[in-house]
């Protein structure tokens, strides 16, 4: 499914475009971003970004942008996200995720699943603000780290969703 455009006071969430590949490659590659992700290869290259854009599978992926600047990516139905180091700590991800969840629960009552690596306090803070609750801890292989990590799994039900 192609991502619908969603607008917030500060952000535009739009479908990924082929032209986003250089931004994705450059802005996800820094260790401070990629170390918290489980799937992407490290080092992350332009060819990897092109592959990601072309192979989005059944998920819905949005580019997070403001004033024509590319800030990161957010996806559903299992909520996943990353944000450039330069834009972390400003509430952008909470704003983007709240908007995506509003879109999701506007058309479905399906529970949203997500998770974060143990130690990723920033992602955990975003998820807790949005109403996610811990479900269990699982082990998962993190490609950038080349090792298994502990992931805190979380869920948000339609009844727990608070707009």
The tens digit of pLDDT for each residue in 45-90 reads 999 999 999 998 788 999 999 987 999 999 999 999 999 999 999 9
Cβ(42)–Cβ(127) under 8 Å? no
Domains of the chain: 6-156 (3.40.630.30)
pTM to 2 decimals? Answer: 0.93
Count of other CB atoms within 10 angstroms of residue 103? 17
The tens digit of pLDDT for each residue in 99-148 reads 999 999 999 999 999 999 999 999 999 999 999 999 999 999 999 888 99
Q: Please, what is the angle between helix 46-54 and helix 21-28, to 10°?
A: 120
């Amino acid at each position: 499914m192609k991502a619908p455009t969603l607008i917030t006071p500060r952000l535009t969430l739009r479908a990924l475009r082929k032209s986003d590949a250089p931004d994705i490659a450059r802005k996800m590659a820094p260790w401070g971003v990629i170390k918290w992700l489980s799937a992407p290869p490290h080092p992350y290259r332009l060819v990897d970004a092109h592959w990601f854009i072309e192979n989005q599978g059944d998920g819905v992926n949005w580019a997070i942008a403001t004033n024509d600047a590319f800030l990161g990516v957010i996806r559903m139905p299992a909520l996943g996200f990353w944000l450039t180091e330069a834009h972390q700590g400003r509430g952008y991800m909470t704003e983007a995720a709240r908007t995506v969840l509003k879109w999701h629960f506007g058309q479905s009552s399906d529970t949203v699943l997500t998770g974060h690596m143990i130690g990723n306090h920033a992602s955990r803070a975003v998820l807790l603000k949005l109403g996610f609750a811990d479900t269990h801890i699982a082990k998962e292989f993190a490609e950038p780290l080349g090792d298994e990590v502990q992931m805190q799994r979380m869920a948000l039900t339609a009844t727990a969703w608070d707009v």
